[in-house]
Amino acid sequence: MSATESAPALAEGVETPTPPVRSSALLARSLRLWRTRIGAILTLILVLVALVGPLVAPHGSAEFIAKPFTSAAASNTVFGTDYLGYDVLSRFLYGGRSILVIAVISTAIGVVLGVVIGLVAAYARNALDDILMRAMDVIMAFPQIMLALVAVSLVGAKNWVIVVAIALTTAPRVARVARGAAQPVVERDFIGATEAMGMSRVRILFGELLPNILGPMMVEATLRLTYSIAVISALAFLGLAANPDAPNWGTMIQKNQGALAYQPAGALLPILAIALLTMGTGLIGDGIARTAAGIDRERGDE
């Protein structure tokens, strides 16, 4: 590869000036890739459905239409009725908001927490680093869904419990990536320079280190959002949503599953919605990852 061939041309001991890529620039460049565009369009559509859906739903979220699993024609609706006798289309339009809002909030908390822990661990380079990362290992020994399941059943299926459970299980996974990305940056000369200038530790961590790991952190954040959506909808699917009769894509799949053979829309619509939403965020994450890797390679070639 040309990257490895040109490497010796650089003077030894001289660091190549690699200013951090601005996150907006990274996003804009990643949108040149088709996969990112498709992912962004899918995500945008599903977010619109989840947020605007309740405003345009033809019926209320708890409005009895006809007896459960009545066909579309007999109930005079677009997709028939669900397990409660409510309008499937309206329930679908109402059912995305809670999943999306909880997923975004819990992922955001988890990512911020994870980045802070990862940066502190990478910068500490001492026993604190070991202690923090071993603690993260212990949390990671429990699968995310299992910890969320136990937490929800201990305290009850309340929205804040789900947010805390997802955030706490997201943080160690983010922390590991953040620490891995920050470690080589910590070793570079400019960090030593900032220390010599007497810059405060907080400013070094968030003003100097953080901008240098934004690329991998953006990839990690979209990946974690994808998993959070999966876990939150899976909890609802297992019957552990905050309100078991509220419209929720996960609950809809579970309750309408039995009627797949003759009234498929009740389960099929939310299945497709969750599938397309997670595909969308997954594609965006991969697009950003490829773009960041591409920028690194170009810099290697320079």
Partner 1 sequence: MKWLRGGGIAGFIIRRLLLGLVVLLLVSIIVFVSTQALGDPARAILGRDATPDRLAALQKQLNLDSSKVGQYFHWLGGLLSGDLGTSLASSQPVSEVLGDRIANSAVLVVLAAVVSVPLSIAIGSYAALRREKIFDTVSSNLMLVLAALPEFVVAVLLVILLSTNVFHWLPSISPVPPGTHAWDYPDELVMPVATLVIAVAPYVSRIMRASMIEVLESDYVEMARLKGLPERTVLIRHALPNAIGPVFQVIAINLAYLAGGVVVIESVFNYPGIGLALVDAVNAHDIPVVQALAMLIAAVYVVLNLLADVATILVTPRLRTRL
Binding site for partner 1 (CB under 8 A): 1, 35, 130, 134, 137-138, 140-146, 149-150, 153-155, 226, 229-231, 233-234, 237-238, 253, 257, 260-261, 264, 267-268, 271, 274-275, 278-279, 281-283, 286
* Smallest gap from residue 122 Cβ to partner 1 (A): 16
Alpha-carbon gap, residue 214 to 19, rounded angstroms: 12
**For partner 1, which is the closer residue by CB, 89 or 232?**
232
- CB-CB contact of 94 with 61 (8 Å): yes
User: In whole angstroms, how far apart are CA 165 and each of 80, 115, 140, 207, 244?
Assistant: 36, 17, 13, 29, 19
* Smallest gap from residue 194 Cβ to partner 1 (A): 25
**For partner 1, which is the closer residue by CB, 134 or 197?**
134
**For partner 1, which is the closer residue by CB, 20 or 296?**
296
Instruction: Report DSSP letters for 57-91, one per residue.
Output: -SS-TT-B-SSTT--HHHHTSSS-B-TTSBBHHHH
Within 8 A by CB and 6+ apart from 208, the residues are: 190, 191, 194, 199
- In the chain, where does DSSP find H-type helix? 2-6, 23-30, 34-56, 72-75, 88-94, 97-124, 127-140, 144-155, 159-186, 189-196, 201-203, 210-212, 214-237, 249-256, 265-301
What are the two backbone dihedrals, phi and then psi, of residue 69, each rounded to the nearest 5 degrees?
55, 40
**For partner 1, which is the closer residue by CB, 183 or 194?**
183
* Smallest gap from residue 299 Cβ to partner 1 (A): 19
**For partner 1, which is the closer residue by CB, 115 or 277?**
277
* Smallest gap from residue 234 Cβ to partner 1 (A): 5
**For partner 1, which is the closer residue by CB, 70 or 256?**
256
* Smallest gap from residue 272 Cβ to partner 1 (A): 9
Q: Tell me if residue 261 falls in helix, strand or coil.
A: coil
* Smallest gap from residue 7 Cβ to partner 1 (A): 14
